[in-house]
């Protein structure tokens, strides 16, 4: 078979910025032309002018192909691409980009670290390239160490101080927001301690929306338990909060605010109280908390609020959890999160090991499976964060160290977080590149820019750099160190 | 047939009952240059050959294919990648398109904004104020994270 092809290249200058226009026409051989396959979305790339460009440039690619390429990049490179030119920035905000990004084989869940000190304001989220950690072997010799600087940073908005004229205060309580939970690329933030007011923020696009106060906010008493989630059917984001009102300070009321609407709605009394909002975990359209029941033993349950039905439900902890461990005094040895799309609970009540349970079938308490049993020296404050793409488990220990656990070879890698502060929180978040207004919908939206909120106060809390330091070769479970912890140097 | 656009041409011909007769058929490909086409044909032949050799062993196929792809990338200039992608897109050759897209993504991974602009011959078309803001906000993305 012979193929004839035309030596013909055509250029369409879509926009002329300078007076140069290039067109090359060569001898053509006339044939019946086959119809050019049209891409599903319109070609939106424009050709930049330059006298030294080769005959085809990347801007000649159809939009969806360029989106395909950019969606394969790691997060830091996508953020770089957004700054290359305005066309690329538009492409990255396109819903097709998000579709490609979420469909790629690497998991979209990303890890961020944030300093959590009481004495400093911190608005910086530092991205951890977990993919690169997996691809970089640990230092071979125990005495060697390797250091990775966390370059890629995102910023959270700065809170307004409640007391007027205290702009010079640097107390975290006045200016920092706590992160409540993350859902579909958006974070819910709230002022610490009282957990009110709330902010909904997309750190990737640098936008945020302040959730309006309710008319009768003055009758709120005590702390608020907030949660944030998304209803798939109605495609709406909602904030739920459990509050006490002065009219009845013994009965929690449930209130819901749908983003894009004008005001909060009261759902009715909450079926229980939550003394502390522990481990707010969002999964499958439901926000979950660990809760201590009112009975004598004070057994621990998982409660959930379904954003679609706007109703509460309860799940028991795993049946063989250890009866004693389900009781109130052990609450601080437990933690809850999501691992590999399953609700998971970590039991650190034992002195020599920890158990990690996963609810394999969501909603079915009989599907609780003890997935990992990891020997440790002390039942220390281990908190599983996420499952990495190769099956390793990433955990944080004592708010200062990241542990990467290989369940097959049963050994750990340690990465110590170094920064000016010594206490950190780890946040898992699926990035969203869609502008907040489009993601949320609705009318009553006042979208503000994160950078704007910082400049209003005249300070940003200073630049902060974090490093991950890994020392020595991986260690077996029996070689875990004793006395790591919060007493780090400052 | 891997070149789906060409396959479609043959399908259309059959539907119109045009007898092609002899084994030589002229198929016009107005949007493909000779050089990328040659590379794509070689890629396709190699792909089919490796697949035939390792019919049962998928892993072996993938491994050999990867080796071939690495060698191919060494010979191809970065700027030619764009032409190859356009050709593979026009011919609707999915495997090659996927491969070359991956190659371009690897080329710009972990690089700074300046590197990416230089690599593709792009210029910033942000407004002056915006460019300043970007530099301030994303200072880390202007320093080469990886050495060029």
List, for residues B129-141, the tens digit of each pLDDT value.
887 877 776 766 6
**3-state secondary structure (DSSP) of residue A473:** coil
Residues 6+ apart with CB under 8 A from B103: B69, B73, B81
Best mutation target among B11, B15, B31, B41 (most A Cβ atoms within 10 Å) is: B31
A219 contacts chain B (CB < 8 A): no
Q: Above 60 in pLDDT, residue B20?
A: no
Token pair 């009715």: residue: A268
**What Å distances lie between residue A274 and A47, A243, A293, A336, CA to CA?**
58, 10, 9, 15
List, for residues A324-360, the tens digit of each pLDDT value.
656 666 777 888 999 998 999 998 888 788 889 999 9
Q: Which residue of B has its CA nearest to A61?
A: B86
What does the alpha-carbon distance between residue A447 and residue A201 come to, in Å, rounded to a whole number?
Answer: 9
A25 contacts chain B (CB < 8 A): no
List, for residues B71-122, the tens digit of each pLDDT value.
887 777 777 888 888 888 888 888 888 888 988 898 888 888 888 888 888 8
**Which of B25, B85, B116 is opposite residue A61, by nearest beta carbon?**
B85
Task: Label the pairing between strands A286-292 and A278-283.
Answer: antiparallel
Token pair 């260690």: residue: A475
Judging contacts by C-beta atoms under 8 Å, the chain B residues touching residue A50 are: 121, 123
Nearest by Cα to A206 from A247, A243, A156: A156
Q: Kindly report the length of chain A.
A: 490
Interchain proximity A68–B110, CB inside 8 Å: no
Measure in Å the smallest separation between the Cα of A22 and chain B Cα atoms.
15
List, for residues A194-230, the tens digit of each pLDDT value.
666 889 999 999 999 999 888 777 788 877 889 999 9
**Which of B28, B101, B111 is opposite residue A4, by nearest beta carbon?**
B28
Judging contacts by C-beta atoms under 8 Å, the chain A residues touching residue B27 are: 1, 3-4, 34
List, for residues A418-457, the tens digit of each pLDDT value.
988 888 999 999 999 999 999 998 877 888 888 766 655 5
Judging contacts by C-beta atoms under 8 Å, the chain A residues touching residue B22 are: none
- pTM: predicted TM-score of the whole model, two decimal places: 0.81
Best mutation target among A83, A86, A92, A206 (most B Cβ atoms within 10 Å) is: A83
pLDDT the model gives residue A164: 38
Dihedrals phi, psi of B68, to nearest 5 degrees:
-60, -40
Task: Label the pairing between strands A3-4 and B27-28.
Answer: parallel
pLDDT the model gives residue A396: 92
Interchain proximity A59–B122, CB inside 8 Å: yes
**A377 pLDDT tier (thresholds 50, 70, 90):** low
* Rounded (5°) CA angle B52-B58-B64: 70
DSSP state of A176: -
pLDDT the model gives residue A23: 41
**What Å distances lie between residue A368 and A89, A207, A371, A460, CA to CA?**
44, 38, 9, 45
The answer to whether the beta carbons of residues A146 and A133 sit under 8 Å apart is no
| Between A26 and B8, the higher pLDDT residue | B8
- On whether ipTM exceeds 0.85, the answer is no
Interchain proximity B125–A81, CB inside 8 Å: no
Tokens linked to A275: 């003394």
**Which DSSP helix (H) or strand (E) runs through A244?**
strand A236-245
The answer to whether the beta carbons of residues A415 and A169 sit under 8 Å apart is no
Q: Above 50 in pLDDT, residue A24?
A: no
Mean predicted lDDT score pLDDT of chain A: 78
């Amino acid at each position: 078979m012979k193929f004839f092809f035309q030596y013909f290249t055509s250029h369409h200058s879509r926009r002329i910025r300078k007076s140069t226009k290039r067109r090359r026409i060569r001898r053509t051989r006339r044939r019946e032309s086959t119809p050019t396959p049209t891409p599903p979305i319109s070609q939106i790339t424009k050709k930049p002018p330059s006298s030294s460009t080769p005959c085809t440039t990347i801007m000649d690619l159809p939009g969806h192909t360029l989106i395909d390429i950019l969606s394969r990049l790691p997060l830091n490179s996508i953020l770089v691409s957004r700054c290359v030119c305005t066309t690329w920035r538009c492409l990255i905000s396109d819903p097709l980009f998000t579709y490609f990004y979420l469909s790629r084989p690497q998991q979209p869940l990303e890890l961020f670290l944030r300093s959590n000190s009481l004495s400093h304001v911190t608005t910086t989220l530092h991205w951890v390239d977990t993919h690169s950690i997996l691809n970089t072997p640990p230092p071979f010799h125990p005495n060697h160490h390797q250091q990775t600087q966390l370059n890629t940073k995102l910023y959270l908005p700065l809170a307004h101080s409640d007391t007027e004229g205290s702009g010079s205060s640097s107390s975290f309580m006045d200016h920092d927001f706590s992160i409540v939970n993350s859902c579909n690329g958006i974070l819910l933030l709230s002022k610490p301690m009282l957990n009110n007011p709330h902010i909904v923020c997309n750190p990737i696009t640098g936008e945020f929306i302040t959730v309006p106060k309710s008319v009768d906010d003055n009758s709120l008493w005590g702390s608020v338990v907030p949660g944030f989630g998304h209803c798939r059917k109605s495609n709406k984001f909602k904030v739920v909060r459990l509050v006490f009102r002065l009219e009845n300070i013994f009965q929690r009321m449930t209130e819901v605010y749908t983003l894009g609407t004008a005001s909060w709605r009261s759902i009715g009394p909450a079926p229980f109280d939550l003394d502390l909002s522990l481990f707010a975990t969002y999964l499958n359209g439901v926000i979950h908390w660990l809760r201590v029941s009112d009975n004598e033993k004070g057994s621990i349950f998982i409660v959930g609020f379904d954003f679609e039905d706007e109703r509460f439900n309860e799940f028991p902890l795993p049946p063989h959890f250890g009866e004693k461990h389900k009781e109130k005094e052990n609450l601080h040895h437990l933690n809850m999160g999501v691992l590999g799309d399953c609700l998971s609970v970590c039991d650190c009540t034992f002195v020599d090991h920890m158990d990690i349970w996963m609810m394999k079938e969501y909603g079915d308490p009989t599907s609780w499976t003890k997935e990992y049993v990891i020997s440790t020296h002390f039942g220390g404050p281990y908190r599983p964060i996420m499952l990495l793409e190769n099956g390793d488990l990433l955990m944080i220990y004592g708010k200062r160290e990241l542990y990467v656990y290989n369940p097959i070879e049963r050994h750990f890698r340690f990465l110590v977080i170094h920064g000016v502060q010594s206490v950190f929180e780890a946040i898992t978040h699926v990035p969203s590149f869609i502008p907040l207004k489009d993601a949320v919908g609705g009318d009553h939206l006042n979208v503000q820019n994160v950078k704007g909120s910082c400049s209003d106060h005249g300070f940003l809390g200073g630049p902060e750099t974090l490093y991950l330091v890994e020392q020595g070769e991986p260690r077996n479970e029996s070689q875990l160190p004793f006395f790591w912890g919060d007493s780090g140097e400052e | 047939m891997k070149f789906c656009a060409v396959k479609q041409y043959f399908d259309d011909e059959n539907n119109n009952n045009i007898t092609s007769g002899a084994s030589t058929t002229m198929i016009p490909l107005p949007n493909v240059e000779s050089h990328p086409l040659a590379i794509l044909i070689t890629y396709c032949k190699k792909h089919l050959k490796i697949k035939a050799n390792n019919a049962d062993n998928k892993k072996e196929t993938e491994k050999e294919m990867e080796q071939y792809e690495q060698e191919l990338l060494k010979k191809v200039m970065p700027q030619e990648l764009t032409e190859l992608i356009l050709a593979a897109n026009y011919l609707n050759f999915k495997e090659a398109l996927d491969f070359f897209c991956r190659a371009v993504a690897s080329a710009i991974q972990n690089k700074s904004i300046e590197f990416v602009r230089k690599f593709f011959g792009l210029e910033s078309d942000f407004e002056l104020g915006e460019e300043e803001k970007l530099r301030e906000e994303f200072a880390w993305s202007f320093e080469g994270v990886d050495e060029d």
